[in-house]
Each structure stands twice: as structure tokens, then as C-alpha cells.
């Protein structure tokens, strides 16, 4: 069983895309990345043992590096990480029934890439602002100041609830503010759930390639305007992971 080989499927590309000789695949063997074609659509694949464990950070990085590098030069539809099929015929079985839909989706993503913007509040600055602006929070904070935790349990719990609600409202407002600042440079957006309680904004942005510089400049101005309250990080250009929707193949 350990000698049986399958194909790891990375993403769908136009049929005229060629894999570069130095493209690295997943797995220990890092087999050659090739393109299996049907009509106007191709699939980026590389051989892997069918019983190989996939899911290490190095595998995910290889998957993302290949897709992001491809997205820099051609449209690509990422296929769910970990999709492995038995061979070329199985790849064609995935491409044939949905060829026209995949081709239309690739045309839609032509000249477009994804960025991810992630902002996190400075906790001390944010909490100070909440206490200054929220009388209930300020009163509860005063009630617990200098008191042992066991003796102030109820106001501590209530203060935590008030602060949590206030942070959520600030996050919603910050997302709106950030998206308004870049709206003219973005084709589509997908808000991501917060990954931390102090997240200020977290969104995937689909951007025309000729608007990338303008987007970066607008976000730099935004970050400067919010300096002291939050720190902003921008990742990209990336493959359009958050925007493939129904075009994505399931493993």
C-alpha cells in the first residue's frame, strides 16, 4: 500500500499555464508539479503516496507558496488543502462536469489577487477609551479597584461583559471605517471572524492588480490615522482563497 501513488490537487488554472521546473509540491518527496488539462482548464498537481500523512506546516506552506506564486502571474482557483485523487483520470473526472463553470470563474479572477488586512487594538488604549466613554464600565471598575477578586466577583463579571460588548461595537465600527477608506480600490470583501479578543479588523480583499499600489497607500494612510489605537498588518498578494466560493472543489 505504501508504494501506491496519488495526485495532490492544488488549484485550477487556465489550460495555457505551465508549471515552472522549480515548483515544489507537498510531502517529503516533493514530486514534480505538473498541469493536467481538459479544454480551457487545467489542474496543478503533484504525486504523493496515497498513505502519506499531509497536514504539517511545511505541507501547508508548500501549498500556499505554489498557489500564491501562480496567482501573481495567472488566475487560479484554490482547491481545498488535502485534496488527493488516485490519478490523472480522477482529475479529469473532476474537470469535465464543471468545465464551463470553472473556465468562467477563472475569467472572473483574471488580473485579480487577494490581500488580507488584520488590525489589532492596543489593549490599554482601547480599555482606557471604553472607561472614559462608558459610565457603567467606569463605575464597575471603581467598585472593584483595590478589592480582592473573591470579594468583587459579581462586578468583575459584569465589567467583563460590558467591556466585551463595547469591544464588539468598536470592532464593527472599525471594520466599517477601514472598508470605507479602501472601497474605491477593492472589487469585493469578505470579513473574517476575529482571531483574538482584541482584533479591530480582519478582512479578505479582492483587488485588481493595477490597484494594488493604491490599496497599499490607502491602508498606510489609514494605519497612520489610527496610530496608537491599533496596529495594522497587510498580507498579499495571495491566491483568492476567500472568494472561490462554489468554484472550490471538495476533497
Q: Tens digit of pLDDT for each residue in 236-249?
A: 999 999 998 644 44
Which are the contacts of 190, defined by CB distance < 8 A and separation ≥ 6? Answer: 203, 204, 242, 243
pLDDT at residue 52, as a whole number: 76
Residue 251: is its pLDDT beyond 50?
Answer: no
The residue among 206, 232, 202, 235 whose CA lies nearest residue 220 is 232
Cell 492544488 identifies what position? 10
Q: 213: domain range?
A: 113-243
> Can you tell me the distance from the alpha carbon of 73 to that of 113, in angstroms, rounded to the nearest whole number?
10
Is residue 47 located within the same domain as residue 149?
A: no
Is residue 161 located within the same domain as residue 121?
A: yes
Is residue 69 located within the same domain as residue 158?
A: no
Is residue 131 located within the same domain as residue 67?
A: no
Q: What percent of the chain has pLDDT over 70?
A: 94
- Mean pLDDT of all residues belonging to the chain: 89
Residue 156: is its pLDDT beyond 90?
Answer: no
Please check whether residue 232 is in contact with residue 129, taking contact to mean a CB–CB distance below 8 angstroms. Answer: no
Is residue 144 located within the same domain as residue 39?
A: no
Domain count, the chain: 2
Longest dimension (CA), the chain: 73
pLDDT at residue 1, as a whole number: 40
Please check whether residue 65 is in contact with residue 239, taking contact to mean a CB–CB distance below 8 angstroms. Answer: no
Please check whether residue 240 is in contact with residue 71, taking contact to mean a CB–CB distance below 8 angstroms. Answer: yes
> Can you tell me the distance from the alpha carbon of 87 to that of 49, in angstroms, rounded to the nearest whole number?
11
What's the whole-model pTM score?
A: 0.85
What is the average per-residue pLDDT within 213-238?
Answer: 95
- Of the residues 52, 77, 110, which one is the last residue of a structural domain? 110
Q: Greater confidence, 57 or 91? A: 91
Determine, yes or no, domain membership for 249: no
pLDDT at residue 28, as a whole number: 67
Per-residue buried b or exposed e for 223-243, using 16+ beta carbons within 10 Å of the residue's own CB: beebeeebebeeebebbbbbb
Q: How confident is the model at residue 50 (pLDDT cuts 50, 70, 90)?
A: confident
Residue 250: is its pLDDT beyond 50?
Answer: no
Is residue 65 located within the same domain as residue 162?
A: no
**CA dihedral angle for residue 138, residue 140, residue 144, residue 145, rounded to 10 degrees:** 10
Q: Tens digit of pLDDT for each residue in 175-197?
A: 999 999 999 999 999 999 998 98
The residue among 113, 116, 52 whose CA lies nearest residue 84 is 52
Amino acid at each position: 500500500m505504501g508504494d501506491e501513488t496519488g495526485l495532490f490537487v492544488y488549484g485550477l488554472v487556465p489550460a495555457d499555464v505551465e508549471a515552472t521546473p522549480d515548483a515544489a509540491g507537498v510531502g517529503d518527496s516533493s514530486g514534480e508539479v505538473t498541469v493536467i488539462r481538459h479544454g480551457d482548464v487545467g489542474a496543478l498537481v503533484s504525486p504523493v503516496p496515497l498513505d502519506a500523512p499531509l497536514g504539517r506546516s511545511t505541507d501547508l506552506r508548500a501549498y500556499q507558496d505554489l498557489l500564491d506564486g501562480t496567482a501573481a502571474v495567472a488566475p487560479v482557483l484554490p482547491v481545498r488543502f488535502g485534496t488527493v485523487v488516485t490519478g490523472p483520470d480522477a482529475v479529469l473526472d473532476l474537470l469535465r462536469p464543471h468545465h464551463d463553470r470553472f473556465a468562467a470563474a477563472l475569467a472572473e479572477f483574471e488580473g485579480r489577487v487577494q490581500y488580507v488586512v488584520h488590525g489589532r487594538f492596543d489593549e490599554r488604549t482601547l480599555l482606557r477609551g471604553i472607561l472614559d466613554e462608558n459610565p457603567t464600565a467606569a463605575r464597575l471598575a471603581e467598585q472593584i479597584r483595590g478589592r480582592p477578586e473573591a470579594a468583587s466577583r459579581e462586578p468583575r463579571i459584569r465589567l467583563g461583559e460590558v467591556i466585551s460588548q463595547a469591544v464588539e461595537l468598536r470592532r464593527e465600527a472599525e471594520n466599517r471605517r477601514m472598508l470605507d477608506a479602501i472601497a474605491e480600490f477593492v472589487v469585493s470583501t469578505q470579513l473574517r471572524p476575529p482571531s483574538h479578543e482584541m482584533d479591530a479588523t480582519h478582512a479578505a480583499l479582492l483587488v485588481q492588480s493595477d490597484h494594488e499600489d493604491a490599496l497599499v497607500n490607502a491602508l498606510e494612510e489609514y494605519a497612520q490615522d489610527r496610530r496608537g489605537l491599533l496596529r495594522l498588518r497587510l498580507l498579499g498578494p495571495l491566491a483568492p482563497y476567500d472568494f472561490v466560493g462554489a468554484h472550490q472543489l471538495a476533497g
